[in-house]
């Protein structure tokens, strides 16, 4: 039976988090925030869980691949960020205009629309596989089937090493939160968007062009996914199956944060990034420190934790973290004012 010594060893194992692991966690949280915000924005406008979102992220990943020395020779691929942003936005907009909107006008149910987005995702995945085959067999660029650009990044600080990607993503995230707050609360378009999301029927009666707002929302949502995808290979390995696999993680971010809140994805990303990138290492550290030599196997299954979070939140907290955090903040504010 484990004793106090084992418990102390376990706690020491949990606390033994490496510096690079923390940097990786912050980077992952940043790009998951961008992806989760896009997916949540789409859900809020049309109430459709968009299973094609991984395709928009994948486009960004393979825009980064175009920076390969044998193609555009732009490495690190940061100058290609506008291209990833635009392509992700166009793919998303095409999904809305060519699939979601026509089917909705014909009375398609949410389930039918959701299945339609799965078809779009399969179509997009096929395009990505064709693209990788083209560069693999025609140009003999064998990394098309799997690439990681972390070693090509700019080293900002040598010891301890900090590369440019985490700093850029965190700066982008801070700017995005600030701009989002100003946009939603201080601009006419943002207020109109909020009205169109909360009550589309009343917004149309008041003369708000909900159709245009949905077009803008879908473009922005896909563009954020494309942008996040561009940064992904600067820290994580990418192959053609990654866009489909990461979709579950993005859904976990949106569900954990709260699909009804535009700020929910930031909270969801914090939790999911911790569960997938830090928690498995802490469990490993605990088990290894008390003598379980095979504990390293758990490091292979970090992707399971977002799935567990999806089930737990749907079962026990379907509104997500954002409403609870908002209520706690309001309560704290009222206590301070007394």
Cβ atoms < 10 Å from Cβ of 167: 17
Confidence (pLDDT) at 196: 77
More confident of the two residues 160 and 35: 35
* pLDDT greater than 80 at residue 155: yes
Model pLDDT for residues 209-267, shown as the tens digit of each residue: 788 888 999 999 999 999 999 999 999 999 999 999 999 999 999 999 998 888 899 99
Confidence (pLDDT) at 5: 67
In terms of residues, how long is the chain?
Answer: 338
Confidence (pLDDT) at 2: 60
Indicate the range of 31-40, 75-84, 278-287 predicted with least confidence. Answer: 278-287
Place of tokens 């207020």: 191
Confidence (pLDDT) at 220: 93
Q: Count helices and strands (H / E) in the chain.
A: 15, 2
* pLDDT greater than 80 at residue 338: no
Q: What average pLDDT score do residues 33-53 get?
A: 92
Confidence (pLDDT) at 29: 96
The beta-carbon contacts of 128-134 under 8 Å, at least 24 apart in sequence, are: 128/55, 128/58, 128/59, 128/62, 128/240, 128/243, 129/240, 131/62, 132/62, 132/240
Q: Looking at the DSSP assignment, which residues form a beta bridge with residue 147?
A: 238
- What percent of the chain stands above pLDDT 90? 62
Confidence (pLDDT) at 40: 92
Confidence (pLDDT) at 3: 64
Joined together, the tokens standing for residue 60 give 């960004």
Confidence (pLDDT) at 219: 95
Average pLDDT over all residues of the chain: 89
pTM (two decimals): 0.92
Q: What average pLDDT score do residues 43-50 get?
A: 88
Rounded-to-integer distance, Cα 49 and Cα 228, Å: 19
Q: What average pLDDT score do residues 77-104 get?
A: 96
Indicate the range of 108-112, 118-122, 200-204, 263-267 predicted with least confidence. Answer: 200-204
Q: Looking at the DSSP assignment, which residues form a beta bridge with residue 238?
A: 147
Model pLDDT for residues 182-223, shown as the tens digit of each residue: 888 888 888 887 787 777 777 777 777 788 888 999 999 999
* pLDDT greater than 60 at residue 1: no
Angle between helix 188-198 and 164-186 (nearest 10): 80
112-149 in b/e form (b: 16+ CB < 10 A) is: ebeebbeebbeebbeebeebbeebeeeeebebbeebeb
Rounded-to-integer distance, Cα 197 and Cα 45, Å: 5
**pLDDT tier, 137 (very low <50, low <70, confident <90, very high otherwise):** very high
Rounded-to-integer distance, Cα 285 and Cα 296, Å: 9
**pLDDT tier, 307 (very low <50, low <70, confident <90, very high otherwise):** very high
- What percent of the chain stands above pLDDT 70? 97
């Amino acid at each position: 039976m484990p004793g106090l010594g084992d418990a102390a060893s376990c706690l020491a194992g949990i606390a033994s988090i490496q510096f690079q692991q923390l940097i990786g966690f912050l980077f992952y949280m940043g790009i998951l925030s961008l992806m989760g915000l896009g997916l949540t924005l789409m859900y809020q406008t049309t109430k459709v869980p968009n299973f094609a979102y991984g395709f928009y992220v994948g486009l960004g990943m393979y825009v980064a691949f175009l920076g390969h020395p044998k193609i555009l020779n732009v490495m690190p691929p940061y100058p290609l960020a506008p291209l990833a942003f635009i392509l992700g936005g166009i793919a998303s907009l095409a999904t809305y205009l060519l699939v979601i909107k026509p089917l909705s006008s014909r009375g398609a149910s949410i389930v039918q629309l959701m299945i339609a987005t799965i078809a779009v995702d399969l179509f997009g995945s096929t395009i990505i596989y064709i693209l990788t085959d083209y560069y693999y067999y025609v140009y003999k660029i064998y990394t098309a089937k799997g690439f990681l650009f972390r070693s090509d990044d700019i080293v900002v600080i040598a010891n301890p090493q900090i590369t440019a990607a985490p700093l850029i993503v965190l700066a982008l995230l801070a700017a995005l939160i600030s701009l989002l707050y100003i946009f939603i609360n201080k601009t006419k378009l943002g207020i109109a968007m909020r009205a169109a999301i909360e009550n589309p029927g009343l917004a149309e009666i008041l003369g708000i062009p909900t159709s245009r707002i949905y077009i803008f929302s879908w473009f922005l949502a896909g563009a954020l996914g494309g942008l996040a995808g561009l940064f992904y290979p600067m820290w994580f390995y990418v192959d053609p199956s990654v866009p489909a696999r990461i979709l579950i993680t993005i859904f976990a971010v949106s569900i954990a944060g709260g699909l009804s809140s535009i700020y929910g994805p930031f909270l969801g990303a914090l939790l999911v990034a911790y569960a997938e990138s830090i928690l498995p290492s802490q469990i490993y550290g605990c088990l290894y420190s008390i003598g379980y030599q095979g504990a390293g196997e758990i490091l292979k299954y970090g992707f399971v934790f977002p799935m567990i979070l999806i089930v737990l939140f749907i079962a026990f907290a379907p509104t997500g973290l954002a409403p609870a955090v908002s209520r706690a903040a309001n309560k704290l504010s009222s206590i301070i004012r007394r």
